[in-house]
Structure 1
């Protein structure tokens, strides 16, 4: 499964273009721009599974760095600062990784 089967490819491209500059990533705006915020809980979980590259059931910090590539292969890597801020925003239980429920809650913010 790819993000293109869940989200509109044009929306993905616009969102990636909006956050091309380093340290410009804002997860709330991004999830809204790609249309994920308006999707069903089922679709949000599908997106989570696309981003969980190692199929561990969690998105770890190392996977977060490449989260934009999960939306499109030409997406940039997040900076260390962006990765840490993203993890901090989503990791509600403090275990250092993002579970499916935490991801869904983050998308819905």
Structure 2
């Protein structure tokens, strides 16, 4: 299941428009605008699985770079700085990747 199947198209467009400029990605603002923050933990975990392109059970730094494309094909790539900031905010155990529970916690603390 794709992230776009779990969220409203209007919310995805609004969230992507808000982070269109390089350097403007703020995960807290993005999660609120796209509708993730209001979703149940189970549905947030379904979105996580859509972002986890290689189905490893983790979102690694390389997958994070393309996170906006998992919401819409025309989403931009995150810059290296945005990717590293996103990873740092979510990676609570310091293993260099984001687990499903770390992602859900990050979304709901946003």
For the criterion TM > 0.5, the same-fold answer is yes
Deviation of 1:2 after TM superposition, in Å, equals 1.4
Q: Which runs of 5+ in 1 are unaligned?
A: none
Output aligned runs, 1:1-109, within 5 Å. Answer: 1-109=1-109
String of CA shifts for 1:17-76, please: whole Å, max 9, x gaps: 110000100000000000000001111000000000000000000000000001101000
Length, aligned pairs only? 109
Q: Which runs of 5+ in 2 are unaligned?
A: none
Q: Find the aligned partners of 1:55 and 1:65 in 2 and give their Cα distance.
A: 16
TM-score, L = length of structure 2 = 0.98
TM-score, L = length of structure 1 = 0.99
Deviation of 1:4 after TM superposition, in Å, equals 2.2
- CA RMSD of the aligned region, Å? 0.5
* Secondary structure in 2 matching 1:87: helix
String of CA shifts for 1:57-100, please: whole Å, max 9, x gaps: 00000000000001101000000000000000000000000000
Q: Find the aligned partners of 1:99 and 1:49 in 2 and give their Cα distance.
A: 10
